[in-house]
A = this chain, B = another copy of it.
Amino acid sequence: MADVVVIGAGPIGLMAAWRSARAGAAVVVLDDGRPPAGRVAAGMLGPWSEVEHRDGAMHLLMVAASRRWPELVVELEADSGHDVGFVPSGTLLVAGRPEQIAPLRRHGQTVGTLDSDLEWQTGTALRTLEPGLGPDVAGGFVMHDEHQVDPRQAMAALRAACDVKGVEILDRCARALISEGNRVAGAITTRGEQITATDTVMAAGWSASRISHRVPMRPVKGQIMRLGLPAGRSLPVTHVVRSADAYVAPRPHGEVVVGGTVEEAADTRVTAGAVQSLLEEASRLVPDLRELELTETAAGLRPATPDGLPAIGRDTTDGLIWATGAFRHGILLSPVIADAVAGIVAGQPPDALLANFTPNRFAEAA
């Protein structure tokens, strides 16, 4: 019997397992073998670019997560011996066409209300800073503190760090929870095995709702591409470049990630229309992308709750901890979610930052 069983081996599940094990818990992770949304994700850490008007508490959580990342990288690289792929590139949030100027300026005002003022830059000023931007870029904001991490490198590092800290990762798919009265005592696998634990962490992404109905969750499809640099070429931009319709995330090892659609769909088919639209917008932002090699197209399914906010914390059912529903912000939020899980497991009082994200808000509404 473990202290903790984590259902799901995506970035959040692995990070929660590593943090809990690091604090002394005996941890088992159930890996259902399906590629998690984080495997497809670009890994942008964008609390200012991605905030929405209503999201004061969410913005605070995103900012806290983004500030936590650099020190977490140090700890993870020390434990794992792996490069986590953290790149302090900064981000340009731009209007790719004149129609995008007004909504982008409104976004700047939202950020000013929630946080600090952003200074509008003209297209020419942005091109002086980042000459790879296209002539259609009509202005925008420089987000000096918005960086990126490579989710695939981070996941490889997390697996290594879990291994070092004695986390046991089992190739098993959870089918149900072990319910004992008002208590969850672990998970039952599709093979019928019972994996018992004091605490059960639900980090299975959108498929968590297949295992427990207490947090309604739906998949939101995202399509994305990876482009490769031909030999001898350098990256066309150094900053992450984002508009309302696409983002371009350059990686120092010679890859550019282009994304990402937001579709109410549960399939992972790559469609001609999404590829066309993303390449059209991305190559308007950064024209030299056209000469890069299209090395991968993929689709992932993000976990979304009805209010679009994550479900983090203890369920009213004892022994059950939620760590999912991060929607488009899974990589960004993973450190604060993982720390929250490790804190709950260790019996610490919950962080006030997390009050708005209790998983029990859906049960109360129902």
Contacts and interface: CB of A to CB of B under 8 A. Distances in A.
A262 B282 CA distance: 23
Contacts of A276: 276, 279-280, 283, 290
Contacts of A270: 293-294
Given A294-B297, A297-B294, A279 B275 contact: yes
A289 interface: yes
A293 B271 contact: yes
Nearest to A295: B270
B271 A294 contact: yes
A273 B291 contact: yes
The bracket for how many chain A residues form the interface is 20 to 34
A53 interface: no
Contacts of A293: 269-272
B290 A273 contact: yes
A292 interface: yes
Nearest to A269: B293
Interface string A272-311: 1101100110110000011111100100000000000000
A227 interface: yes
Interface in A20-48: none
A271 B297 contact: no
A230 interface: yes
Contacts of A292: 271-272
Nearest to A281: B276
Contacts of A273: 279, 283, 289-291
Give the most central of A227, A273, A289, A293: most B CB within 10 Å.
A273
Nearest to A267: B230
A97 to B, nearest CB: 16
Interface of A: 225, 227, 230, 258, 269-273, 275-276, 279-280, 282-283, 289-294, 297
For the complex of A and B, 8 pairs with smallest distance between CB atoms: A273-B290, A276-B279, A269-B293, A270-B294, A272-B294, A272-B292, A272-B289, A227-B272
5 contacts: A271-B290, A272-B289, A273-B291, A275-B279, A276-B280
